[in-house]
Amino acid sequence: MSAPLSDASTGGRLATAAGLTATLLLVAFLGWSWHTSRLPDSYSVMDMGVVDLGGGAPVDLAGHAAHGGTPAGGTSLVSLSGPRSGAPDVEVTVEARQGRFELASGEELDGYTLNGTSPGPELRARQGDLVQVTLRNVDVEDGTTLHWHGVDLPNAEDGVAGVTQDAVRPGDEHVYRFVAEDAGTYWYHSHQVSHEQVRRGLFGVLVVEPAKATGHDVDAVAAVHSYSGRRTVNGRTGISRLDAEPGDTVRLRVINTDNGRLRSWVTGGAYRVLAVDARDLNEPPPVEDEQLVLAGGARADLELVVPADGALRLDIGGGTALVVGPSGADVLEQPAPDADLDLLDYGSPAPLGLDATRFDRDFDYDIGRRPGFLDGKPGNWWTVNGKLLPDVPMYLVEEGDVVRMTIRNDSGDVHPMHLHGHHAVVLSRNGVEASGSPWWVDSLDVLDGETYEIAFVADNPGIWMDHCHNLDHAAEGLLAHLAYAGVTTPFRMGSETGNEPE
């Protein structure tokens, strides 16, 4: 015998069924999200992302098979190399190793070295020199590469594993050849498992001196890096010294090789910012009582004048500093000034060399964050234009395009955005137009809540990364690509290929 079903119990069952359906749908959705987030074991950057024409003319999609183009055709970026023949003016071999090493100041660490040290050798070239660097991987297990950060060089020399070359396996070599066209301060670092290799030491400095000497008495580098929380300048913790005589003018090239912002300040005199990211500023005035803030990956060339009766001091925090002056002269540590130098209105305006009133393409680079799956892993991941990797933008351009990019950050964190192969000029921040010297960058901090408009000329064909230089963020998917119509790559990434650029 069966009891008649009461309305209440029918309602209850219906509710249970509805709940079950909702749960099943949710599980199905999560399963689908998980599944579609997984990256293939081997894939081409050409098949990645969402093609974005920036409102400009349609382009040749050769090689972008997944985007409705032909699978083949186009020009392989391998042909976009530096000069293959000719005797180099600067020729170096750097050997990459993994393991224990000593900082210049003596502390022992576990990480990566180039020619036995970290930072690796300081490379110096003169503008116009043909530079040849042979990277020999002695025993870096994951393989490695060298990327020339900030150098607008031919695409095939860019050193990005899985995009412009294969990672160099232990026992193998790779030769980079390029003409150092633009003077300035640069650095080089691995672009294979970079979030791990760079942090633990696989980087060095490249200075390209101008063809005509600048007339400074002293020209030196202050490369800042944190090794497991130890703040260093040129691989030294504590106070290091740079010898200079009273009255000397010093060009000090400050380089932020860390993921986070670098705050530094000068005690004992004023400083002028002669250049940022290897581009001279126009009529930079002296700065006092303001901190210099550099994005991850960014550089600034400071001019210091050694006082008649003492020395100057560059502090980077954590008690680590560089004293510039005659031996014996000392400067006491002063607290960091409260104010920051703002480059948006520093120096005097000058022609940009591009028409910033009309653009062939107008791109958005919106940075956000949301829960989801990244290559099958659940988490609260970065998004670009609302999407998670691999559905990030593939910004397509044609050679000669004048491009505007609007970078918006609503992700709750700061991101040092870095475009390979190009310099971009800052047009505005939060709607306020740049009013100082033209401010050209390759690494630009975009704080949470900020919007920057930048512009550049697409004058360097290739496939270029455009990513956050907090390398942990890049490894978490905060990246996109700038690709030129018709340029293809034969290289692939994914677990099966051994190429893992971030």
Binding residues for ligand C2O, rule: CB under 6 A, are 147, 149, 189, 191, 297, 418, 420, 465, 467, 469
Give yes or no for a cis peptide into 390 (omega within 30° of 0).
Answer: yes
Residue 406 CB, nearest distance to ligand C2O (Å)?
Answer: 21
Residue 474 CB, nearest distance to ligand C2O (Å)?
Answer: 7
Binding-residue total with Cu ion (CB under 5 A): 5
Contact 407, 446 (CB under 8 A): yes
251, 415, 422, 481: residue in contact with Cu ion (rule CB under 5 A): 415
User: If contact means CB under 5 to 8 A according to the sort of partner, which of Cu ion, ligand C2O, none does residue 174 touch?
Assistant: none
Which of residues 187 and 373 has its CB atom nearest to ligand C2O in the complex? 187
Residue 199 CB, nearest distance to Cu ion (Å)?
Answer: 14
Tokens of 164: 């412009």
Terminal CA-CA length for the chain? 68
Which of residues 183 and 444 has its CB atom nearest to Cu ion in the complex? 444
User: If contact means CB under 5 to 8 A according to the sort of partner, which of ligand C2O, Cu ion, none does residue 297 touch?
Assistant: ligand C2O
Q: How far apart are CA 363 and CA 407, in angstroms?
A: 9
User: If contact means CB under 5 to 8 A according to the sort of partner, which of Cu ion, ligand C2O, none does residue 237 touch?
Assistant: none
Residue 469 CB, nearest distance to Cu ion (Å)?
Answer: 7
Q: How far apart are CA 415 and CA 52, in angstroms?
A: 22
> Which residues are CB-contacts of 234 (< 8 A; sequence separation ≥ 6)?
104, 119, 221, 222, 223, 240, 322
Contact 179, 83 (CB under 8 A): yes
468 contacts Cu ion (rule: CB under 5 A)? yes
> Which residues are CB-contacts of 300 (< 8 A; sequence separation ≥ 6)?
253, 254, 273, 275, 276, 292, 294
Nearest-CB residue for ligand C2O: 149
Q: How far apart are CA 350 and CA 128, in angstroms?
A: 25
Residue 482 CB, nearest distance to ligand C2O (Å)?
Answer: 12
User: If contact means CB under 5 to 8 A according to the sort of partner, which of Cu ion, ligand C2O, none does residue 470 touch?
Assistant: Cu ion
User: If contact means CB under 5 to 8 A according to the sort of partner, which of Cu ion, ligand C2O, none does residue 189 touch?
Assistant: ligand C2O
Which of residues 237 and 257 has its CB atom nearest to ligand C2O in the complex? 257
Q: How far apart are CA 336 and CA 333, in angstroms?
A: 9
Q: How many residues does the chain have?
A: 502
Q: How far apart are CA 259 and CA 254, in angstroms?
A: 15
177, 251, 404, 473: residue in contact with Cu ion (rule CB under 5 A): 473
470 contacts Cu ion (rule: CB under 5 A)? yes
Which of residues 369 and 415 has its CB atom nearest to Cu ion in the complex? 415
Tokens of 28: 């199905």
Tokens of 424: 């971009």
Contact 404, 454 (CB under 8 A): yes
DSSP secondary structure string for all residues of 470-499: SHHHHHTT-EEEEEETTEE----BBTTTTB
Distances (CA, A) of 363 to 53, 326, 409, 452, 453: 8, 51, 14, 12, 10
User: If contact means CB under 5 to 8 A according to the sort of partner, which of ligand C2O, Cu ion, none does residue 415 touch?
Assistant: Cu ion
Residue 92 CB, nearest distance to ligand C2O (Å)?
Answer: 19
Which of residues 259 and 488 has its CB atom nearest to Cu ion in the complex? 259
User: If contact means CB under 5 to 8 A according to the sort of partner, which of ligand C2O, Cu ion, none does residue 465 touch?
Assistant: ligand C2O
User: If contact means CB under 5 to 8 A according to the sort of partner, which of ligand C2O, Cu ion, none does residue 64 touch?
Assistant: none
Residue 471 CB, nearest distance to Cu ion (Å)?
Answer: 9
Which of residues 292 and 468 has its CB atom nearest to ligand C2O in the complex? 468
Which of residues 203 and 346 has its CB atom nearest to ligand C2O in the complex? 203
Residue 20 CB, nearest distance to ligand C2O (Å)?
Answer: 48
234 contacts Cu ion (rule: CB under 5 A)? no
Which of residues 195 and 231 has its CB atom nearest to Cu ion in the complex? 195
DSSP secondary structure string for all residues of 364-399: EEEEEEEEEEETTEEEEEEEETTB-TTS-EEEEE-T
Which of residues 136 and 467 has its CB atom nearest to ligand C2O in the complex? 467
Residue 19 CB, nearest distance to ligand C2O (Å)?
Answer: 48
Which of residues 205 and 331 has its CB atom nearest to ligand C2O in the complex? 205
Q: For residue 223, give the nearest of 248, 184, 186 by alpha carbon.
A: 186
Q: How far apart are CA 407 and CA 385, in angstroms?
A: 10
Distances (CA, A) of 441 to 103, 164, 332, 363, 409: 30, 22, 33, 17, 18
Cα angle 231, 235, 237 (rounded to 5 degrees) comes to 45
Residue 422 CB, nearest distance to ligand C2O (Å)?
Answer: 12
Residue 86 CB, nearest distance to ligand C2O (Å)?
Answer: 27
DSSP state letter for 27 = H
User: If contact means CB under 5 to 8 A according to the sort of partner, which of Cu ion, ligand C2O, none does residue 147 touch?
Assistant: ligand C2O
Per-residue burial over 287-320, b if 16 or more Cβ lie within 10 Å, else e, is beebbbbbbbbbbbbbbbbbeeebbbbbbbeeeb
Which of residues 121 and 368 has its CB atom nearest to Cu ion in the complex? 368
Which of residues 313 and 467 has its CB atom nearest to ligand C2O in the complex? 467
User: If contact means CB under 5 to 8 A according to the sort of partner, which of Cu ion, ligand C2O, none does residue 467 touch?
Assistant: ligand C2O
Name the residues that contact Cu ion, by CB under 5 A.
415, 468, 470, 473, 478
